[in-house]
Structure 1
């Protein structure tokens, strides 16, 4: 995609992609556990797993998630959520999440989860958020300042606790929580069911993203933006349905697609996950290719690292292999993500100028 004066750009190696600074906006805490951690936590509480050892369990998650069905994909969370019902377990999972992301070269991440799914024991919603924050802070401290991580609090779209979770996000806004989200099956559960929560968040000058346009089409995206006022779109893959590529190669954007591009609304795209849930056929056929050519505000994400057996390095290198992207292209994705983060402007700018740009400049200079 990128053209460098005087020579043909060279796609980076996997090692270079791993070394590059990366920014992650769409990652689920309960979708990124280490298999060994699940085995150990399940043993502590007597929860029965579909496999007894970490290697077999990891394989089971990947195979179960690779079904082409979002509903089946979401069922795999029954086991991860089951072992995250007490403070020490949640803090451990959060700490290991930060450690794993830092080891993958992620310098900033927003990690989301639904507090309401972790109170089947005796924890309150507030205690759940506190446990996650404890783990994040431990992980960041252990990284020596190499990564900054913030929470996104998610409400489940098939439940009725979105206002409660929105209020929780505001209560924790200056203590590690960057924003709000809704997730879960889209069909039959439109975002407008939670309009009171979104209106409350807007009155509080808060940031929020909405899962939309993954398993459901343009109406879900339209409602998320025009009724609910989403700052970002979780996935947003189906915006491609409003784009027509004519036989002569010309491209025509429908009204909604043009709005998304004109307004620079960030798309939190997760290629591996989108393929597993049937939202895309393959990396090479993923809408991210055309959307990048058309200069939508595209970002690259992992979604659920355990279920997809993935990492930011793997997601980005998959795109390199599919589209011959260069380090300059990966830098563009990364700056897109950092610009779109729910972090104060000066903090976003500092990470771009002091971490992202120098990190890529060093790698590009090595070629």
Structure 2
């Protein structure tokens, strides 16, 4: 269904009701501001920049709008600080599942770094078990409210640390209990994914799934290492894959606005970009976050538009709902408003995400055929 001048209200309603699939969402980037304030009060954390929920939410968004990934990541000091007890982890995970379900998300993979939640004395396994308990509680609460959601968990290792092998073992230990995969995150520059090669080799031997943050703040070498050295199943963001495209006679990026509207026949793929597309390697893109960190100049000029037309395996994500002041509905609406996407595009990107989920094939197929496709059929 195309978007026409007389359809903005209809598409807004469609976006709200559309079934959604989310593969890239950080648990510590999606807390409710009121929850942060309450837990801070209970635990004695007194370094919050504001104690009014509205003001605190605005502070996170403003602080994340710096255009720097490093500065963006600094905002997490406050959210992680209030996630150091079993009770707080259970609560945050439960509220995450409920918030996503209320937004129409039917399947989500939410990631977190267990090693960042040990200050209060919890062990790595206690952290994982608390988060898994919270997600199950949130699923049940969402169902009671009339919303169906299944939440899988990705355990994340920090790329500047040296704990990736231990975190990878957690992914395998808990993979039948709710952990569906592994990830590495953190500042890319200076911390290539090959620093964690032993963790990825271990995961491959154990037939475990993993994604790697790559191609967000750093370019093609990061993507190349993540795929060809580490064997990533998916790319976290992967925005900079456009560095391997040419539009006519010039490299992509010389005119971002024109590049976003380029005709498919005018685009030439380099060898790495062609490999990523040929192998259907999913790109976990998050437009609002990518603009905030400087990985894309604007929503209208975000590479997702061109990459979708080129039929890369593009997926749409929130990344950090608190820092971006966003939701899956908002990300969809932004693409409707700024890029001209319609219902067919939203359905396509949702099916892409479900195909790419770290979930058994039969379960992915069931959600596509029994939830996503019928859900979109009811909307158009």
Task: Name the TM tier (shorter chain).
Answer: over 0.9
Residue of structure 1 equivalent to 2:279: 263
Task: Measure, in 2, the Cα distance between the counterparts of 1:123 and 1:218.
Answer: 38
Deviation at 1:143, TM superposition (A): 1.7
Match of 2:49 in 1: 50
Cα pair 2:2 2:342 within 8 Å, conserved: no
Match of 1:289 in 2: 305
**Contact 2:2 2:341 (C-alpha < 8 Å) held by counterparts:** no
Is 1:300 equivalent to 2:316 in the alignment?
Answer: yes
1:212-223 aligned within 5 A? 212-223=214-225
Counterpart-to-counterpart distance in 1, 2:154 and 2:55: 31
In structure 2, distance between residues paired with 1:217 and 1:323: 24
Asked if the contact 2:2/2:343 (under 8 Å) is kept, the reply is: no
Whole-angstrom distance in 2 between the partners of 1:118 and 1:181: 16
Deviations 1:90-131 (A, max 9, x none): 000000000100000000000000000001111000000100
Aligned partner of residue 91 in structure 2, secondary structure: helix
Alpha-carbon separation, structure 2, partners of 1:14 and 1:132? 33
2:253 maps to none
Number of residues of Structure 1 aligned to a counterpart in Structure 2? 361
| Separation in 1, partners of 2:11, 2:224 | 39
Question: Which residue is equivalent to 2:115?
Answer: 116
Following the alignment from structure 2 to structure 1, what is the Cα–Cα distance between the partners of residues 5 and 87?
52
CA contact 2:15–2:329 (8 Å) conserved in 1: yes
Deviations 1:156-212 (A, max 9, x none): 000000000000110000000000000000000000000000000000000000000
Q: List structure 1 segments (4+ residues) > 3 angstroms apart after TM superposition.
A: 7-12
C-alpha distance in 2 between matches for 1:140 and 1:52 = 29
Match of 2:171 in 1: 169
Q: Secondary structure at the match of 1:25?
A: strand
Counterparts of 1:208 and 1:99, CA distance in 2: 25
Offset, 1:13: 2.1
Query: TM-score, normalised on structure 1?
Result: 0.96
Equivalent residues in 2 for 1:186-335, closer than 5 Å: 186-246=188-248, 250-335=266-351
> Following TM superposition, by how much is the alpha carbon of 1:324 offset from its aligned partner in structure 2, in angstroms?
1.4
**What RMSD over aligned residues (CA atoms) do the two structures have, in Å?**
1.6
Q: Secondary structure at the match of 2:280?
A: coil
- What's the CA shift for 1:3? 6.7
Unpaired runs of 5+ residues, structure 2, are 250-261
TM-score, scaled relative to structure 2: 0.93
Q: Return 5+ residue gaps in structure 1 as ranges.
A: none
